[in-house]
Amino acid sequence: MSNRRFVVAIPRLFIATSAASVLSVFTPSTAQTPNKDVEVNSSAEAPNRLTAAAQVLLREWDGPYGGVPPWRLVNPPDFEAALVAAMALEIDDIDAITDNPARPSFENTILALEKSGQALDRLASMYYVHTSNLNVGPMPDIEATIEPKLTKHQDAITQNSKLFTRVKSVFEKGDADWTLAQQRLVEKIYKRFVRQGAQLEHAQKQRLSAINVELAGLFTQFSQNVLAEEQQKTVVENRSELDGLPESVIFGLAEKETPADSANDGSGTENGKTKWVILNTRSSMEPVLTYADNRNLREKVWRAYYGRCDNGDTHDNNAIISAILKLRAQRAALLGYATHAHWRLEPQMAKTPENAMQLMLSIWPKAVARVKEEVAAMQALADRSGDGITIQPWDYRYYAEKVRKTQYDLDFNEVKPYLQLEKLREGMMWAAGEAFGFEFQQVENVPVFHPDVRVWEVRRNHHVVGLWYFDPFARTGKRSGAWMTGYRDQSNMDSAVIPLVSNNSNFVKGQPGTPVLISWDDAVTLFHEFGHALHGLCSTCEYPSQSGTSVARDFVEFPSQLYESWLMTPEMLTKYAVHFETGQPLPAQLRQKIEDAARFNQGFATVEYMASALVDMKLHLAGDVKIDPDQFERATLAELGMPNEIVMRHRTPHFSHVFSGDSYSAGYYSYLWAEALTADAAEAFEETGSFYHKPTARRLYDAIFSVGDTVDPTEAFESFRKRALDPGALFRKRGFVTGDQ
């Protein structure tokens, strides 16, 4: 029952300049074992009854680097039978633990659990890559069928009375010779069982399992509805409607209809007809809202994006959300918690919803006040220009960009020619070498799941420590956003097992033979997600369920947010932010403008994020009541004093963080909690005068990046910072410090 980290593509946020997207990690324990409380599959259904193709999926990975995923052998229709067989195989592992006549010990119970279900771990890694990156053909139906089975599988192991009795015995007995990591591992596993209902009565376990299975189906429906809505398009047939947009963006939107072989430069002047397609995703929507002069187009694109899954049609998610909230509340009560929020936050750094709310509400009034200042500046500019409008949500980004140019003489379109995707990829690898001693070498002998994917061997001190997979481009069936995935966790139980990690993005391919240019926000996101990957690659833990990013939800974003800091360093920008035509580095005066404007528009960035975080928390503090999501959203925002010119970053009907699984439910506050740590940690480097200060970087590696969950996160942070957290750093970073603070 090792730690299984699978990802849902979920947009990231809350960085200095709004942004694209993120890691979302969740850890379903997909093990199942015979249990009087939960019906399970018999091991007789396992591999010998599978097709040869399905059997291939169950084999140990072979090839270099201790084995790698055999992507070329994957046939999606084989997933269901192979996953069912893998669950059955894990039954044997669990039976071996529960039937062991020896007294329960760390070795024969806890360690045995860490080693159980390895076939399922491997197979599920490949399955979840397909649900997130290649969700086409039969995959939606497979996902809808298999998710409830995996959930039932999880419940079967956590509700296994014989297994829990052994775990409890080891926990209560303890051992003075255990290492700190072993102590934490035993405690975490024991509490996981308790939190998942191991101590409930038989009827209660049955009800809990029924709730979890129903939720799994609802999560899948929600996710597939969002994915379907993201396939919707706004089609523009007159190029003049795109006035104001950068030429590189216009080219990326262009689609030639006929003839098929005619040239397409995005101009609409070649033979055949060109149309321009704006997808219903953040990466496609944000440039239009930021640069398009056509206000009607901005409003149309805005309404399509923020109205996703809220249109009363087959993809409407409101009824699904109501059902999810009610089931979560019932589950929390069954487990003895006041609300779902209390259940979710118990193992996090925040510990209680009250602590999370206290942090958010300390920031909220200052952010709202800043929004009023920002809107006043934008309205004044619009009035001076004679535009005759009152600022609306679809105007905010557009006029904010104009104010930025006025106040800071900064046009990010001037920056974009210096932001080549491949050069920045080289740069973030270089910075990882400077900070952590990593070396990257691209390799060709590793299978990939799509031609766009490339692989790098990662070395430290001349030893291979992992593989990094890079999947940068958008495609049909790939969820929007950017994220990190762990294909295999680092561990060192019987032998050293290196991690396999991936970064996935949704950049738009450019014209063949020309560099892909990305926005400043996208560059920040690129570094953020690579920070997650580094967190996995730096891991030096013994047990897989403690390694890499297997940490508290409100701590996991800290290393990745901190790694964004390296992008802005002069060393990085001088070496790797070079003009795609001239090769000249980003001018020093342009770097200074970016730095000067770092706190610009922080009212907008903070309020749109925190509105989502506060609604999330309040939804899950409401308890077992019937909730109309739209009405609740409106009432909550009105109560909070939400500015009319801004909408939630993730409106409730498409809030995938919260309703595509339990992972971030009542936990969207985590980005803010982690940023408090990030702001203080960044000051540790600033105090030395450089983010390349070797002793500080070494301390960061030793105290944070390499230890996983073997150390309490608060203690880990204090070990790095050599003192307790200074919450004032967050206010300083956001520019919300006033004279009385």
Tell me which residues are annotated as active site: 529
The CB-side HSE value for 592 (13 A sphere, CA atoms) comes to 4
Contact criterion met (CB below 8 Å) for 349 and 555: yes
Q: What is the rounded distance in angstroms from the CA atom of residue 152 to the CA atom of residue 213?
A: 6
The residues facing 234 across adjacent strands are: 278
Question: Of 246, 311, 301, which is closest to residue 278 (Cα–Cα)?
Answer: 301
Within 8 A by CB and 6+ apart from 581, the residues are: 417
First to last CA, the chain: 48
Report the 10 Å Cβ neighbour count for 401.
20
Question: Of 142, 127, 151, 153, which is closest to residue 214 (Cα–Cα)?
Answer: 151
Helix axes 353-384, 670-688, angle to 10 degrees: 80
Contact criterion met (CB below 8 Å) for 92 and 43: yes
Q: What is the rounded distance in angstroms from the CA atom of residue 681 to the CA atom of residue 560?
A: 12
Within 8 A by CB and 6+ apart from 89, the residues are: 43, 46, 47, 58, 117, 119, 120
- DSSP letter (8 states) at residue 691: T
Q: What is the rounded distance in angstroms from the CA atom of residue 711 to the CA atom of residue 704?
A: 9
The residues facing 578 across adjacent strands are: 585
Distances (CA, A) of 378 to 399, 406, 430, 641: 6, 11, 40, 20
Q: Are strands 274-279 and 496-497 parallel, antiparallel or unpaired?
A: unpaired
Cis peptide bond N-terminal to 417, omega within 30: no
User: Tokens at residue 521, please?
Assistant: 């926000």
Q: Residues in the chain, how many? A: 741
Element (H, E) at 456: strand 454-460
Element (H, E) at 501: strand 500-507
Within 8 A by CB and 6+ apart from 500, the residues are: 65, 68, 69, 466, 467, 469, 486, 487, 488
Contact criterion met (CB below 8 Å) for 550 and 708: yes
Question: Of 14, 10, 9, which is closest to residue 609 (Cα–Cα)?
Answer: 14
Q: What is the torsional sign of CA 89, 90, 94, 97?
A: positive
The residues facing 585 across adjacent strands are: 578
Report the 10 Å Cβ neighbour count for 563.
26
Question: Of 475, 445, 441, 472, which is closest to residue 458 (Cα–Cα)?
Answer: 441
Q: What is the rounded distance in angstroms from the CA atom of residue 448 to the CA atom of residue 139?
A: 18
- Residue identified by tokens 């603070």 is 741
Distances (CA, A) of 153 to 29, 104, 112, 200, 412: 8, 23, 18, 17, 50
Q: What is the rounded distance in angstroms from the CA atom of residue 317 to the CA atom of residue 315?
A: 6
